[in-house]
Amino acid sequence: MKRVVRRSVLCMHVAGAGLLLPSAASAGDFFFDDIPIVLTASRMAQSPLDAPAAVTVIDREMIAASGFTEIHDLLRLVPGFLVAQWAGGSPTVANHGLGDAYDGRIKVMIDGRTVTSPLRGNTNWRELPIRVDDVERIEVVRGPNGAAYGANAFQGVVNIITRAPSTEDGATLISRLGQNGFYDHGFRLSGASGGVVDWRLSGSRRAATTFRSFVRRDGAATPYEHLLIDTVNFSASSQLTAHDELRFQVGTTRGAYERGTPGSLTDPLREETQGSDYVHLMWTRSFDGDSDFTLQYFRQAEHVRPANFIVADLGGGKTRVLAVDFDVDTTRDDLELQYSTRLGAAWQAMIGAGVRQESARSPDLFNTSRTLYARHAQVFGSLTWQPIDWLKINAGGTFEQHDYSGEIFSPRLAVNLALSPQSSLRLSGGVAYRAPTLQQTDAEEVYRADGRIRSLGLLASQHLQPERVRYAEIGYVALLKDLGLNLDVRVFRESYQRYLDDRRCLSPIITPDGQVRRPPGDRAYCMANPPEGYVPFRQDKPQNAFEFLNSGSFVMDGAEFSVDWRRPGWGRVVLSQAFIEIEPGKGVLDRDIERSAPQAITSLLLMKELTYRWRASLGFYHNEAMYWLNDGDRVPSRDRVDLKLARSFGPARSDNEFAITAQSVGGRYPEFHEGRYRAEPQLFASLRVSW
């Protein structure tokens, strides 16, 4: 706690230094010709100076300069965010620690459409039906935001905002080609501007070897992964009347993965396929400059087709390979409406409601071939009062009814004090929840042989309550136009209760006469009533299984800041820093929770304008030692450096560019689990031509 306090003081010194910087006339008025607007903090367009939560914006210039070709990698630029890949599933993202293989504590949206999976609550980042080239900007709320988006906006919200079709016309071809079989080829076709309908069609095919197998000191090989992914996305909008706009989006992604461990009998090299499809409709009616109504519907479907075997625990240290149907199919249907208006000179209000149905089919996880459904409803709103020019008070919240977590209410109260026309202080606090997923509430993973249930896996053997966080923060934002400088500082405390986790447990002993007995000893016991037809391979010894539970409480203290400075003709510097400390409380089973947050996280993106239309950029990313939970493990303190050199060509306002990008110039580095995964460096050339 003392370290975080000292570092919080450092953050405040950074903020104060920004106020004391001398005038820089050379910066001119370019930086904030218009006041920047964010959409994600409260569901309403507002200045970061007025937002009730801390928001980071990754804009188009940062996206291009970073050299990243995957959307999840862009979140390395956000203060406190952690990104990792592993060879057994989708990349994972965490905010201030608590990260595992399935990033279920962050809500991810595309243009306001939720894309997290109904089964595990995670985001299948590579199967998102858009590419980096389709993204206009990413808004990231760097803390709990259940008041605006309900359950699972638990540690943050990522809203990926795509490029509007009306901003482009003509055609663009993009090609990236690099070492070790890496390529990423794509196109964008846009309708002529000024038509009745603005539209864009984009697509890509990409391939990469994300993990090469290596031999550990003990002689064991590590997992390998190679991917091939196709993506197509169509977006259209039409201004039906002076007040009505209709938007339509549809997209699909298909991915093939080669995964496994060379030479392994239990984890052999194999091909897995994954895919996702979506459709999104949105109608907006603008009544005047301060009032609008939005109605949207979207449907998302995902499927996974992995291999069909498992190594089952037979008890007594013995195993057996069993055939299992691992196919997964999920859907989400969501209907939502929202109305915002100004009630008077000092009052602004927003209210909305939504209903959602989620489904999941997984014969392996649920011990049934039928599809499971869950329905949810929510009502949300906020009210902002500005009694005097320098004070804004915002109260908001979301009330929800979940099939598998009951009724929950996520409130927030925020006070914004204008210190000057270009800076403000924010005080806010509230409560947010993470609801259990379909897997955590309904899992009954069983393995069959000879037509009988012989072994158990993941079990939803306990009644789970939603995970809860109570939070309080102090934030400072400055948009210093004359200096070309943007400062964002945040100090926070988050108190977590009913942490959702899983643990190893012992299955019951079934005697030859059918009696169910609890295993001897003090180890965790899975369930009193095993699945019907359960006949373990060994009836004298218990077998290992896993169960979900609410495991305990802890407190997270942190401080973070970002500095964004730019000067015409020179370039731009974006620096972010976060300090985190977790103090475990009662009932925490996994001691790695305390170590899941690196004490310091740094990112630096340097963009330098050169002569003859050349530009250079450098990205530096540092994490101190930390632990990824569950399927992950310790990773040591590590640094990553990326370089990009680009040159524009063609007409002055064209989008044409040739570039060379080197990612992780220092070579391979430990990722997610230091004993199993090494992130691969990459060197590639890219060419973008528009006409």
Amino acid type, 396: G
Separation CA 181–CA 208 (nearest Å): 6
What pLDDT is recorded for position 318? 59
Contacts of 584 (CB under 8 A, 6+ apart): 552, 554, 591, 593, 594
What pLDDT is recorded for position 266? 72
Nearest to 376 by CA among 352, 357, 353, 351: 357
Separation CA 561–CA 559 (nearest Å): 7
Average pLDDT value for residue range 601-612 = 97
Average pLDDT value for residue range 378-389 = 97
Name the DSSP letter for residue 25: G
pLDDT in tens, 534-579: 888 777 778 889 999 999 899 999 999 999 999 999 999 999 999 9
What pLDDT is recorded for position 404? 82
Burial class (CB in 10 A: 0-12, 13-18, 19+), 369: exposed
Highest mean pLDDT among 7-11, 390-394, 459-463: 390-394
pLDDT in tens, 202-254: 999 999 999 999 999 888 999 999 999 999 999 999 999 999 999 999 999 99
- Compute and round to an integer the Cα radius of gyration of the chain: 26
Separation CA 623–CA 621 (nearest Å): 7
**How many beta carbons lie within 10 A of that of residue 428, not counting itself?**
24
What pLDDT is recorded for position 322? 66
Residue 660 has pLDDT above 60, yes or no: yes
- Say whether 595 sits in a helix, a strand or coil: helix
Which of 189-193, 278-282, 317-321 is the least confident region?
317-321
- Quickly state the pLDDT bin for 28 (edges 50, 70, 90): very low
pLDDT in tens, 493-542: 999 999 999 999 988 888 777 778 888 777 788 877 788 888 887 777 78
Residue 516: strand pairing partners: 510
Nearest to 142 by CA among 59, 63, 57, 68: 57
- Quickly state the pLDDT bin for 67 (edges 50, 70, 90): very high
What pLDDT is recorded for position 22? 35
pLDDT in tens, 312-354: 555 555 566 666 788 999 999 999 999 999 999 999 999 999 9
Q: What share of the chain is helix, strand, coil (3-state, %, to 5)?
A: 10, 55, 35
Residue 310 has pLDDT above 70, yes or no: no
Q: Does domain 2-690 have CATH number 3.40.50.720?
A: no
Maximum Cα–Cα distance for the chain, whole Å? 88
What pLDDT is recorded for position 456? 87
In the structure encoding, which two tokens stand for residue 515, read together? 């009696």
> HSE on the CB side for 64, CA within 13 Å?
21
- Quickly state the pLDDT bin for 23 (edges 50, 70, 90): very low
What pLDDT is recorded for position 194? 75
Contacts of 78 (CB under 8 A, 6+ apart): 56, 58, 140, 142, 576, 603
Separation CA 250–CA 298 (nearest Å): 10
Which of 123-132, 243-252, 511-520, 601-610 is the least confident region?
511-520
Contacts of 559 (CB under 8 A, 6+ apart): 4, 7, 8, 10, 11, 489, 490, 491, 492, 578, 579
Which of 56-60, 263-267, 276-280, 569-573 is the least confident region?
263-267
Contacts of 411 (CB under 8 A, 6+ apart): 147, 395, 396, 397, 430, 431
Residue 470 has pLDDT above 90, yes or no: yes
Average pLDDT value for residue range 51-68 = 97
Separation CA 336–CA 228 (nearest Å): 35
**8 A C-beta contact, residue 348 and residue 384:** yes
Residue 373 has pLDDT above 90, yes or no: yes
pLDDT in tens, 68-110: 999 999 999 999 999 999 998 999 999 999 999 998 999 999 9
What pLDDT is recorded for position 547? 93
Separation CA 583–CA 599 (nearest Å): 12
Average pLDDT value for residue range 369-396 = 96
Residue 392 has pLDDT above 60, yes or no: yes
Mean pLDDT, the chain, rounded, equals 90
What pLDDT is recorded for position 122? 94
**Backbone dihedral region of 180: left (phi > 0), alpha (psi from -120 to 50 degrees) or beta?**
left
Name the DSSP letter for residue 327: -
**How many beta carbons lie within 10 A of that of residue 266, not counting itself?**
11
The sign of the CA dihedral 83, 86, 92, 95 is: negative
Separation CA 685–CA 646 (nearest Å): 10
In the structure encoding, which two tokens stand for residue 655, read together? 């989008």
Strand ranges (DSSP E) for 450-570? Answer: 452-459, 467-480, 485-497, 500-506, 509-510, 516-517, 544-550, 554-567
Nearest to 130 by CA among 82, 182, 72, 178: 72
**8 A C-beta contact, residue 369 and residue 390:** no
Residue 465 has pLDDT above 80, yes or no: yes
Separation CA 50–CA 64 (nearest Å): 28
Separation CA 588–CA 582 (nearest Å): 12
